[in-house]
Amino acid sequence: MERTRYLLVLALLLVAGAVPARAGVFDKLKKLFTGGGGGATSQRAAPANLTLATLLAERERLARTSNGSAFLNEPGVCGTEYRAPGSVGAFHPNMTMPSGANASAVRLAVPVCCRGWAPALGFRCEAVCSSGCRNGGECVAPDTCRCPANRTLDLGGNCVATCPGTCLNGVCTGTLTCACHDGFWPDAQGKLCAPLCRPDCVNGNCTAPNVCQCYAGHRKDARGVCQPLCPEGCVNGDCVGERRCACRPGYAKLDREERAHVCVPTCPSGCRNGVCSAPGVCSCDPGYRKNSLDECIPHCPGGCEHGSCTGPDYCTCLTGYTRHPDPARGRHSCVPHCPGGCAHGLCTAPGVCQCNAGYRFDARNTTGGGPCKPDCGSAGCFNGDCTAPGVCTCRKGYKLEGNSTTRCTPHCPRGCANGTCTAPDTCTCKVGYELKAGSCAPRCSLGCTNADCTAPEVCTCKPGHRKDPLDLRGMRCIANCPQGCVNAVCSGPNLCLCNAGFVKDRTVPGGNVCVRRGASG
């Protein structure tokens, strides 16, 4: 449609003489009708004999075939009418009637403008604003002005400068900035006015001039400054929010949540065996003290002989040493250790036992708590044990000999007459004696008849007996009848046995006289 409109207007301008006729103008128009020069090819081809009359007729035909709606899509157009070229009025004030054949029959289609719209150059309708649109405004609809960017209509219909937003609490100037009222100040772009609080409204909102409303979790102090609310305070820190403490340099929070308001000193190098009492300052615990590296190490006031101080006044002994047996010294004193003990001696070095006086070293000794055993002299302790220096304890069946304290001899409880006690309860008889019932008795090799062997080879007649005169060796004793036996034999001490055929004479005292049987008496 735009192409058709352009052609018609151009043709009218040519007819009216508004555009000088130049060679090739009609050719260009012909190309536009035929779609030449890159235009669309869907347009109807122009008549072969293109003249002014045929051009005007073609314009008329186009207007009619569109049912009078050629301008209806234009703003402010309510219809189409046909006028002679000289009566198009404001659509083209300088257009006159063409000359030539059929010129009076030429009619042009022109738009009929709606109410509030007026004809304008170019066969179009434009909106009418009765009061005009000043300061760069554009009438875009009847009595409707549109202002350029950054301007707006005031109540008088004028385009005036505007500020983004509402310019609350201020006046918008021609420079598109807000001139703030007293007690307000502009933002960085100068387009908004905000309340001004002196001093600044830290931790709050300035809701009106010099009116500061604290954030939640904050309250005003005596100076009217909003401070974070920390009911428990902030030890070594600053309250930066509701119940939030920020520790000062050199301090850090405790791990325990219930103590979140407490900041404690920190020691970057650590503080083992001590307490970080100030930033970077480590105070040693009791029983510890600083070394050359500023570390807290255990302290043993009494030293740590043969050991190392591993705790307050506590020594860990070196290999081969053990704690002193005295409880008062055992925590900080180590003494040599002899694994087998060193009873009756002094452990002078690990595994080295020096025996006391009266004792001697015997590596084979495994009893008594060490290698030191009592010394009972060069003679030792025969048949006994040296249980103390110079003191023997005799073994069972032995006893100390006389006043000796080191010599034990066999003991025979029943004695050992006529012999020697050579072993416990064992006698060894002398020559001429023999052991009988555990005792040494004289020995009579031929025996003793009615006699006791009272000495080697010596028979002693028993009471009522006497030596047999017929026994030349004196080993036999016979019964003794001192009064003699008449007609009888002495058969026992003072006992006469009558011969055969004889009986005791009872008239004779003593019973040593026998008479023939049948004789008187």
Mean pLDDT for the chain?
A: 79
| Over residues 310-327, mean pLDDT | 88
Residue 243 located in a structural domain: no
CB atoms within 10 A of CB 335: 21
- The pLDDT assigned to 85 comes to 75
Residue 104: inside a domain: yes
Residue range 232-251: average pLDDT? 87
Residue 111, beta-bridge partner list? 80
Predicted confidence (pLDDT) at residue 260 exceeds the cutoff of 60: yes
195-199: long-range contacts, CB 8 A cutoff, minimum separation 24? 195/169, 199/224, 199/225
- Asked whether residue 363 carries a pLDDT value surpassing 90, the answer given is no
The answer to whether position 24 is within a domain reads yes
> Per the domain annotation, does 384 fall within a domain?
no
Measure the CA–CA gap between 482 and 28, rounded to whole angstroms: 215
In a domain? residue 170:
no
In this predicted model, which residue has the larger pLDDT, 37 or 390?
390
Structural domain total, the chain = 3
More confident residue, 71 or 473: 473
Is residue 351 assigned to a domain?
Answer: no
Residue 368 lies in a domain: no
- Give the tens place of pLDDT for each residue, 445-455: 889 999 999 99
Supply the pLDDT for residue 44: 38
Which structural domain, as residue segments, surrounds residue 98? 2-127
Q: Which residues of 279-294 are buried (b: 16+ CB within 10 A; e: fewer)?
A: beebebeebbbeeeee
Under 8 Å between Cβ of 246 and 253: no
Q: Which residue has the higher pLDDT, 101 or 329?
A: 329
41 within domain boundaries? yes
For residue 198, the model assigns a pLDDT of: 86
495-512 pLDDT per residue, tens: 999 999 999 888 888 888
Q: Indicate whether 176 pLDDT > 80.
A: no
Q: Which position has the higher pLDDT, 14 or 114?
A: 114
Average pLDDT over residues 328-345: 83
Peptide bond into 199 cis (omega under 30): yes
Q: How far apart are CA 1 and CA 22, in angstroms?
A: 25
Residues written for the chain: 521
